[in-house]
Chains A and B, each alone.
Chain A
């Protein structure tokens, strides 16, 4: 199972280590550093690295490498999923998952890691149970602890671990009972030069924030459940009921959790909410290139496209760009050649555009590569797949909760080739 964990920052320093069995020397990370040096970009470090006696499995999150050391055959996905859980827990506890936050809370970090694995076996990875065991730091408590040298170890033992619904605390009480669900869809797409869709798919999630007293039993139904043919559920969802009736039935964890994630594949017709008209050209023998980009909405069911951000890695030969945005602001980094244009909201009556020239090195040949345009955007009150919740019911408790559903669509990896 998982032997040790090292946290490595972007400059290649180990700033935290934790061992669940015997101690593994830091020098094992030398193999990781070698791979890190070879990688052209930080994200290109291979996730599984063999060393003579160990394997290093790592994930890169928030510019920190979480490097797990294993000694025997352990499923790599098991390790990666666990590392994700560690990242989520840190974020949950400290608000951000940064080197500074981890260093500031080093005692809590060790306590958490100690509870999450026992001898390398996962022990308590549910946020609910962990919070019972170890209190999240607050400013006040940190101050008190510094003065008195006291710790955050809870005086309670995790009763939830004994329960048949290990994801839910017992004895939950609220004065305001509320259940909110966010349907968030990310659209991944590749659009070719001519504007036709090469591939488009949707990754959707339903995130919930449930603050309900007692042991509520919820059911959630959809107007069009047939959209959901590829789903992953939180363990609380009763799978049989879904199979039979296409209804989500569950006793929710307390607080924030992801109820469900789903995938609408490229085989279904996926609506593309924006289009791009572009003309990026270089002429042989000229040290100037033309840049012309216009954005417009389509298939948005009348909803506004907001928070639009366009970025593109221009060819290496480009020295500078002299452009004129019709709205928003743009920046061009002459070192990384990254062009980004913060567009804001698209007004369908007056389409945003970015036009101008790019200057090339004098005498350099015409660049070979065609830049790809990356687009980020958000559309409120709409799930692009068309998914709609029908109703939410609660059983098992007598009070009437507040209920709310929100929809949002964002761009995931949305790329336009030129």
Chain B
């Protein structure tokens, strides 16, 4: 968790009356007022530490990042309710079956083209890859159509160049589908169980996607190596990385992992912002399986989102990878109107390291020792 003084929360059109995140961040300054003779009161008065603890219990900036914010219900009176009921009938009775059919057609077309190409063109790699890329873009378009995705792309389309990676904020696995529709990215993803895992090991593998396993500690080095190898290769699909490492609710961004920023390449930021008007696209993996999440999207009116391709960034002289990551995070957050919080997304799965607590202990200890010496 970096020094809060270095981060500035991006200005945002949303949630202006929410308590300021800075108020809930543990302050970097020492807990007690320094100077003057050390008295019993100074040791007994633990109120600042307690206030921080109580503040964290009541509201904390980390949990807020993973809170689902469904769209406001509007069916709350006599004439809106029947209207809403008609809507439900249309969505579940008409739209959903049509979408399932569309998706099924898409899969049939895809598989009947992909399998022959994959098998027959084994020797002609370049041609095979070209066709497979096109087919994957096609099936992604079918997916997007199956939730009536209204995606507006802004900015210049990414060009295929070596030594560049793309980074984006992460809200749901559909981010990948939305972006893949336009450009054949190779993505780095957590290996999932179930039908998603099956897709990962077959089709996505052919795109050059890289898998990791969060729970394996040594995994990080192997993955870092795979990343480096991939960006060096000239014929590989451009690499898309979600540096947050986990799905966040599209109102905040958590800290970017530096892995993507120390590959010695140009980093092209992509910002994705979903409009919650019909459905909340945040995949709350604690609450829903991906299948349920897809079904939820397929039974809503539309998924509306904006995608901005932003200006490519390179490491500035004297900038560390972490600073570079934070700078890019700031660019993405400002563009998509997201607030930045200084937490590591992986804290969803594990406890903070003791060094944060030790930082506070150290600062308090130093205050005491300093005042002792002053006496």
Mutual binders A and B:
no
Please give the residue numbers on chain A whose beta carbons come within 8 Å of chain B beta carbons, in ascending order. Answer: none
Please give the residue numbers on chain B whose beta carbons come within 8 Å of chain A beta carbons, in ascending order. Answer: none
